[in-house]
A and B are shown apart, each in its own frame.
Chain A
């Protein structure tokens, strides 16, 4: 069997933007339907599909360098890192990494991962078998692979000394299998971690919130050890057919001369449910159960005569960033903030946030006087129907910061 090589995505401004904020360019793609890119692929043979997703060792950390920061930063020299992107989730600053992509895939499925345990206590939970590594069931490379797994506990006797390293061995062993929680794990190249400077913790761009670093762990797949990155349990939900429930992810854009969206280098906004179906925020223990599998939409900031002009918030002091945004979006979309905005203590949390009417940046009731396009409901209810363009892309995005807490 042969797997087709990935087709290059179309040339557009998004390719430039991808180098900064991980924009997608989903319009006009002339490739066959259905391409999946695992983290192994994005870090290897398909690196051109989303080059911004990974910062190579020693390379500039673009989002932690000017004009986004005051000083240049480079990736640690001993490891490649998944680029940390700034975003917004439910009106709050968020940080995430993009771990997998699916183009023209209407659905993504969860697969089982098996964990040996010696007991399962209803209150204390499972007792892992010492030294037992998780056993993955499907390899990256299949269109049915995803980083979304359901943990299946294999209950072995206490003191079990056997070895199981493959699904076939698990199936043949005949031990009881008990369903466990969902878990988000990306099979990854050995040594890949989060993008960060040497000796420091990863940071969210723009606000520089510290994040929890991730180190590769080991698991089994068809008898061989593989490395994986763990993003946490309970990050997503699946239906009865093991289809992972999607969440809309908005990327702001302008309408190009040919009518197609031209994506802007702005933080993306995660919804809480599928497009046009926002759900109440579900984040037990502060861990959001949404946003892991994103269905990407362009949200075009189109204006009609008489409509207010949207604004992208950039503090006065960040003139280089203002110039950069103005170069792509136009100066009119980057109004100068008033003094109230400048003096707002939480000012940095609004950097590159989009308001429906940029005039509010100069008003005395900033930020509450602004209608921020930072939630699914606000975006879908305030932009016209024609503003939304389905990019045909799903992405797996691991939230690292939500509601002020590192995950």
Chain B
């Protein structure tokens, strides 16, 4: 019963399931040791050559004047391709599925979660390892330790949790959807690259219920090697500056009988962890909101990020680069999803969803670009262990960069155990 409830919560309103960023396993068992996971199998087809690189833009680096993240094909945010046809790039790229413009099946993620609850101790130990097979082998095929932490809840009568290890971001709300089995749709938003990265460090989560007002307030504060950017943009495994990045979110939630409203404000500040000078800072703020009314879930997020210019020592998750250029971006999205509960047979729930996102960004001294994306899709939950998703992404270049054919049709079958 609890397991089914968790599955339904994950499908209908994923953000509701794991406010502390730990993805609750989909099954319940009395054993203190539990192993869960999922397999995400996809099929995707991109327009053009699967990238956002225009043929005639010869500027260097090639990834400064386009949105290379736009043609995403899966929940990881991998692009159909990042092949710049030999043109120099400087590490502002997602991982690549390597499928170019061809329709292709993909094993997006093979996920293993291990959770251990030591008997008699207010402790949870959790590790999430993922296999990510990719065409082209080399560095693209990886084993990823996405999370590995211990969570201490020292007080039984206070909702305080202390984390140490590698864990999800605390910025905004989209990190709650990181995993394919939790995400309503297939692909992340245009701003997910800034807010959904995992990092290593310490974190404290506290929530205080105010029953008389049917509300709660929460704080989620982290000090980590890097901030909340995804791993290709800033490596998490080591602090390159010796100074941690502080990030956090303060939230207010109102839980009435027919409607839930959750609001949050987030911030991040600290040195850029894609270079080695502690004085080269990055700062980001954001706001988020969620409303759940019956089967309708609406969420929105807005962010603004600013990174100082550094020197010629950039290194990110894709390897050594060149210049740590100054960078600024702002963007956001609005997503609406409506779920129909179908019953207790094979067909459990059908969810239709749509999202509009927009992003404006500029590398120092380069032409600013503005892009947007319209996302629409359907999700069908079968039994307790299978979600089928289909999604269309319409990417548009609005200003500063030529229009390129980079729309996407993608799908995903997520098997959970």
Chain A interfacial positions (CB closer than 8 Å to B): 1-4, 32-35, 104-107, 109-112, 137-145, 150, 152, 166-168, 171-172, 177, 222, 240-243
Interface size on B, residues (CB 8 A): 42
Whether the pair A1, B401 counts as a contact (CB closer than 8 A) is no
| Beta-carbon nearest neighbor of B328 in chain A | A1
B306 contact set on A, CB distance < 8 A: 1-2
Q: Is the interface of B mostly helix, strand, loop or mixed?
A: loop
Inter-chain CB contacts under 8 Å: number? 117
Whether the pair A142, B364 counts as a contact (CB closer than 8 A) is yes
Q: A32-B310, A142-B364 are in contact. List 11 more A-B contacts (CB 8 A).
A: A1-B362, A4-B280, A33-B313, A34-B313, A138-B365, A141-B364, A142-B325, A142-B366, A144-B64, A172-B402, A241-B86
Min distance, Cβ A131 to any Cβ of chain B, angstroms: 23
B277 contacts A by Cβ under 8 Å: yes
B399 contacts A by Cβ under 8 Å: yes
B401 contact set on A, CB distance < 8 A: 168, 171
Whether the pair A144, B60 counts as a contact (CB closer than 8 A) is yes
- Cross-chain pairs A/B with CB under 8 angstroms, 18 sampled: A1-B328, A4-B310, A33-B312, A111-B59, A111-B60, A137-B367, A138-B59, A142-B325, A144-B64, A144-B323, A144-B366, A150-B58, A167-B57, A168-B400, A171-B401, A222-B367, A241-B86, A241-B88
B324 contact set on A, CB distance < 8 A: 34
In the assembly, what is the distance between CA of A142 and CA of B367, in Å? 11
In the assembly, what is the distance between CA of A1 and CA of B367, in Å? 14
B326 contact set on A, CB distance < 8 A: 1-3
Whether the pair A1, B307 counts as a contact (CB closer than 8 A) is yes
The CB with the most chain B CB atoms within 10 A, among A2, A3, A104, A166, is that of A2
B313 contact set on A, CB distance < 8 A: 32-34
The CB with the most chain B CB atoms within 10 A, among A34, A112, A143, A222, is that of A143
Interface residues of B in 348-363 (CB under 8 A from A): 362-363
Q: Is the interface of A mostly helix, strand, loop or mixed?
A: loop
B322 contact set on A, CB distance < 8 A: 106-107, 143
In the assembly, what is the distance between CA of A142 and CA of B60, in Å? 11
In the assembly, what is the distance between CA of A369 and CA of B33, in Å? 88
The CB with the most chain B CB atoms within 10 A, among A112, A171, A177, A241, is that of A171
Min distance, Cβ B195 to any Cβ of chain A, angstroms: 18
B43 contacts A by Cβ under 8 Å: no
Min distance, Cβ A166 to any Cβ of chain B, angstroms: 7
A107 contact set on B, CB distance < 8 A: 322
B61 contact set on A, CB distance < 8 A: 144
Whether the pair B311, A33 counts as a contact (CB closer than 8 A) is yes
In the assembly, what is the distance between CA of A152 and CA of B57, in Å? 10
In the assembly, what is the distance between CA of A243 and CA of B65, in Å? 18
In the assembly, what is the distance between CA of A32 and CA of B310, in Å? 8
